[in-house]
Amino acid sequence: MAESPSILREMADVVLDPIYALEDHGSPFQKWVEEVFQRTREHLANYSLSLRPAPDGSEFLLGDCPAVGIAPGMNPRRRPPLFDAKALILPLSPGVAAMAYPSDRGEPEYSVDDADDGVVLAINHGQIAQSHKRVFFRPDSGHSATVRNYLGI
């Protein structure tokens, strides 16, 4: 009985050493990342893309969550899983956001569609709700009030 811990340790070493060697080289993680990127590429291959310029006097917030996923009936503070999202919104700059969404007609469409103030505000609210810690905006843009009002502070 006194030898049990030693035997278990030897068995663990035999089983785990090859795994540790692969992990030291990053192989399992790299393979997983490549598989996720491939599945994502396949999933988004038929998505349409719309660039949405903000109107004069309106700006998009930029947050530490680069893509805001949206789905019907979702809780705005919880991102839907990527493959469940009905659209992905990516603010690219204070003046332009991109919206990627599944194509209903089979072939993806590409367009530039002006966003009105209501769309900009909705995207900004999504950016605030889904941010991990921070949203960014230009000084004197007035977005400090946007963030405070949305958060109720």
84-136 residue pLDDT tens = 778 888 899 999 999 988 887 778 889 999 999 999 998 888 888 888 788 88
Judge whether residue 20 has pLDDT over 60.
yes
Contact 128, 81 (CB under 8 A): no
What pLDDT sits at residue 1? 46
Centre a 10 Å sphere on the Cβ of residue 135 and count the other Cβ atoms it contains. Answer: 21
Q: Which residues does residue 102 pair with via DSSP β-bridges, in sequence order?
A: 47
**Cα–Cα distance measured from residue 61 to residue 16, given in angstroms and rounded to the nearest whole number:** 47
At 3, is the pLDDT very low, low, confident or very high (cuts 50, 70, 90)? Answer: low
Mean pLDDT score, 78-86: 74
Q: What is the dihedral of CA 105, 109, 115, 120, to 10 degrees?
A: 80
